[in-house]
Amino acid sequence: MNYAGQVLNLFAATLLLLTFAMLSQRRILSLIYLFTLHGATLVAATLVVAVVTHETHLYFSAALTLALKVILIPWILHKLILRLNVKWDVEPLINVPTTMLIGIVLVIIAFNLALPIAQLSSSIARGTLGIALACILLSFMMMITRSKAVPQVIGFLAMENGLFFAATAATYGMPMIVELGIALDILVGILILGVFMFQIRERFDNLDIHNLESLKED
């Protein structure tokens, strides 16, 4: 049990480091690769909890995450980037050093918010709840500090990873029907966003969402 806890803490720390790496990343393809590793780390952490707790539904959750977050969605995003012929770097609204400083503050806030909640949980992963909350806040920050559509989509997906990890850390995951519903919503959302990106690119010749502010009703 203690060994499993240490392995879980290692995966949780890796998840946090990958979230920081995505927050500071300026290359779009590298961002997609980091998101793939982010999903793979989440799968590994979920499997550790499943093995220790013998919660069968966590194996299905890990398999679903592997299929969607590690294989299918990164493949869709990669094909979308190639199809749109996107060659630009990620353009943050604030510079990277400032972003990282704000990120560190968010991590401190997350750990302080999660501490009383973790004390109420009996899960073996309760010690990683602060990291899960930090990943959620950092991913949300990545969404609001990017001007391009694709990095914002990846930020949203990374935030969903954090929410799933938080559910696993606190209560050994969500009911399977809820996870299937969320997975379907995410997949449909990615397909809709793909169409949306094509429309932005066709209309403005780039994917900067600030161009939408120029649209006025007649």
Taking only the tens place, the pLDDT of each residue in 144-156 is 887 777 788 888 8
Distance (Å, whole) CA 77 – CA 150: 8
Predicted confidence at residue 194, as pLDDT, reads 61
Adjacent-strand bridge partners of 92:
146
The model's pLDDT over 155-179, given as tens digits with 9 standing for 90+, comes to 888 888 888 888 777 776 665 555 6
210 pLDDT higher than 60: no
What average pLDDT does range 22-33 have in this prediction?
85
Given 3-state DSSP classes, what are the helix, strand and coil percentages for the chain, each rounded to the nearest 5? Answer: 85, 5, 15
Predicted confidence at residue 218, as pLDDT, reads 43
Residue 201 sits at φ, ψ, to 5 deg, of: -65, -40
Query: Whose CA is closest to 10, among 41, 51, 43, 53?
Result: 41
What average pLDDT does range 186-214 have in this prediction?
56
Higher pLDDT, 16 or 195: 16
Predicted confidence at residue 15, as pLDDT, reads 92
203 pLDDT higher than 80: no
Distance (Å, whole) CA 184 – CA 39: 17
Adjacent-strand bridge partners of 148:
208
Residue 95 CB neighbours (<10 A): 9
107 pLDDT higher than 60: yes
Answer whether 170's CB lies under 8 Å from 129's CB. Answer: yes
Contacts for 9 with CB less than 8 Å, ≥ 6 apart: 127, 128
Global pTM value: 0.78
Q: How far apart are the first and last CA of the chain?
A: 65
The per-residue pLDDT of the chain, averaged, comes to: 77
130 pLDDT higher than 90: no
H-only helix segments in 54-148: 56-65, 73-84, 96-120, 129-144
Report the amino acid identity of residue 32: I
